[in-house]
Structure 1
Amino acid sequence: MKYRFVLWFLGQLLKRAHRRSPEFRDNLEKKGPFSFGIGLDDDPDVGRHYTLAPKGVDSGEGVPVTTDLELRFQDTTTAVSFLKRPSARHFRTLLMAHRLRLVGSVRDLERLQALLKHVRK
């Protein structure tokens, strides 16, 4: 339950960033729409996808195959611990320990990180 709430709340934060941050919207206008998903390796049906576009942010349950980038966590505990306090160091540690799997290109990951900087403002 906590995992699903954190994923839903991330969607709310992205929508708020779209409303409040002109830099967030400018990034989407210059580089085009971006979609990503967050899911679990042990239960692929439990997850959420996010579509970021200049018009707005949309999120929904499940992780479709057509996302630009996908973050696959080993389990819900790992996902919640990372999503509550994301950091580059924690991200690298999870990747090296094979508790997080990245599906997509490093460029898409860099783009996601650039967009997520505006979420905390």
Structure 2
Amino acid sequence: MKLKLTLWLLGFLLKRALRRKPRFREQLERMRGLDWGIATEDLSIARHYRMTPKGISSGKGLPVDLDLELRFRDQDTALKVLKKPTKQAFLDGMMSGNVRLVGDSADMNKLQKLLKHL
């Protein structure tokens, strides 16, 4: 339940940042949008985000056309990494097998640049 709420809240924060933070908006305009998602490995909890300079939408599940997916071994691992989303936290998670990146790692760098403006 905590992870579902955290992912919903992340969508809220992304939408608010688009409205209120010019640096976030500029960064998103430069990359011309990003479609990404977060899920547990068993897909029991999954949420996707479609971000463009015109707006951000989020929804349940993981569509197949996403640019980037972050898959976590379980809810506890996801919460632990998402509470402190640094490059090192993601790298440590990937090295230990707790986090799996599906997609281009360059998109992960773009996402981290955006998330620091939240």
Deviation at 1:64, TM superposition (A): 0.9
Q: Give the paired residue count.
A: 118
- Residue 21 of structure 1: aligned partner: 21
Residue 107 of structure 2 is matched in structure 1 by 108
The residue type equivalent to 1:61 in the other structure is K
* Cross-structure match for 2:9: 9
Aligned AA (2:2): K
Quickly say closer, same or farther: Cα 1:74–1:51, change in 2 above 3 A. same
* Distance of 1:110 and 1:2 partners within structure 2: 26
How far apart, in 2, do the equivalents of 1:84 and 1:107 lie?
A: 22
State the Cα deviation string for residues 47-77 of structure 1 (Å, max 9, x = none): 1000111111111011111110000000011
Unaligned runs of 5+ in 2: none
Which whole-Å CA distance do the structure 2 matches of 1:94 and 1:28 have between them? 26
Unaligned runs of 5+ in 1: none
Q: Percent identity?
A: 48
> What is the rounded CA distance, in whole Å, between the counterparts of 2:27 and 2:88 in structure 1?
25
**Which stretches of structure 1, 4 residues or longer, exceed 4 Å deviation after superposition?**
none
Q: Secondary structure at the match of 2:64?
A: coil
Matched residue, 1:81: 80
Three-state SS of the structure 2 residue aligned to 1:102 is: strand
For 1:46, the equivalent position in structure 2 comes to 45
**SS of the residue 1:44 aligns to:** coil
Quote the Cα distance in structure 1 between the aligned partners of 2:2 and 2:79: 7
Cα distance change on mapping 1:86 and 1:29 into 2, 3 Å: closer
RMSD: 1.1
TM-score normalized with structure 2 length:
0.94
TM-superposition CA deviations, 1:23-64 (whole Å, max 9, x none): 2112222221211000111x2242100011111111101111
Looking at structure 2, the residues matched to 82 and 96 of structure 1 have their Cα atoms a distance apart, in angstroms, of 13
Q: 1: CA distance between counterparts of 2:85 and 2:32?
A: 25
Residue identity matched to 1:28: L
Task: Return the offset for 1:105.
Answer: 0.8
